[in-house]
Amino acid sequence: MADVGDWISTFWDEWGFEIVVSICVVVAALVLIAILRRGLRRWSAGLQQRYSESHDPADREQGQRLITITGVVSMIISLTVWALVVLTIMAVWGVPMTPLIAVGTTVGVAVGFGAQDFIKDVIGGFFILTEDQYSIGDIVTIAGVSGTVEAITIRTTVLRDLDGYRHFVPNGETRVASNLTSGFSRVVVDIAVSYGTDLDRALDVVTDEAHVMATDPAWANSFLEEPQTLGVNELESSSVIIRLLLTTVSEERWTVKREFLKRIKQRLDREGIEIPFPYLNVVTKDRDQSV
């Protein structure tokens, strides 16, 4: 029994300081991480409550983005604190760091090669969120896929296309992001009329119909600017193309286009202006007729 007591006494004399310091460092790290996480969690909850109560979609999108960024920051803080804890404990115990740094470098390179796609996705997601390249509800084209943004995580962007398919696009694959509904949308409408049409009259009819729709109480809120008739845009083989530009609220882009196409078709029919279409003349030849 005395031998055990002597061993404990000797061990404590030699390593007691290091043990106490190590325990204090670990406890301090746990307390620091708990405080930081609790603060971030409370801040995130406050953001979630604040933005969830808002009726503005832009506010809800901003809240979602900030909450996602908060989670990433929390993870980075935890990793940084624990890395400092490990380095501090190693210094207290006198562990030589040079061999560990060499081993860590080799392991880090190996892990880096294996996880480079993951790291690239995380970095890409961080910049997408911080730069506000697109938000939930936007219609975008990324990595060759188009659809409505349903979710943005630190690693992937989730899109839903018109066919209902759900696409998970790694953020690292987003080289060029085309946001079709950022702030406002423009609808380019090309209207074909025959070569026999009085172009001045056709331009007046197109301009008037666009103005009628833009001032219609049922559609006025969908327009952000007066429609612009750009004029004759192209001379094709069998038609003259008149181009019209409509500036609309982002989410109303395709609805406005479909409604205007219906209206302009009906208006051109009423005005007797022909929309050319392919047709075939069949000429029959009498068999008795000599060649």
CA 110 to centroid of chain Cα atoms: 31
Is a pLDDT exceeding 60 seen at residue 169? yes
Q: Can you give the residue ranges of every domain in the chain?
A: 2-95, 133-179, 185-271
Give CA separation, 52 vs 159, 182, 203, 250, 276, in Å.
22, 21, 47, 21, 52
pLDDT of residue 95: 63
129 vs 53: which has the higher pLDDT: 129
What is the tens place of the pLDDT at every residue in 111-166?
A: 556 567 777 877 887 788 777 788 777 888 988 888 888 888 778 888 998 888 99
pLDDT of residue 203: 94
Q: What number does CATH give the domain 185-271?
A: 3.30.70.100
3-class secondary structure, 284: coil
User: What CATH class is the domain 133-179?
Assistant: mainly beta
Confidence tier at 240 by pLDDT (50, 70, 90)? very high
Q: What percent of the chain has pLDDT over 70?
A: 68
Is a pLDDT exceeding 70 seen at residue 55? no
Q: What is residue 250's DSSP assignment? A: G
What is the tens place of the pLDDT at every residue in 70-113?
A: 666 766 777 777 777 777 766 666 666 666 666 666 666 655 56
- How many residues in total does the chain contain? 291
CB-based contacts of 128, cutoff 8 Å, min separation 6: 134, 152, 157, 171, 174, 177
Is a pLDDT exceeding 50 seen at residue 291? no
Q: What is residue 133's DSSP assignment? A: -
Q: How far apart are CA 149 and CA 159, in angstroms?
A: 5
pLDDT of residue 207: 94
Q: What is the mean pLDDT of residues 215-243?
A: 91
Give the torsion through C-alpha atoms of 267, 270, 275, 278, to 10 deg. Answer: 140
Q: What's the maximum distance between 2 C-alpha atoms anywhere in the chain?
A: 134
Tokens of residue 190, six digits:
């090309």
Cβ count near 5 (within 10 Å): 9
Confidence tier at 167 by pLDDT (50, 70, 90)? very high
pTM for this prediction:
0.57
pLDDT of residue 209: 94
Confidence tier at 3 by pLDDT (50, 70, 90)? low
45 vs 240: which has the higher pLDDT: 240
State the average pLDDT for the chain.
78
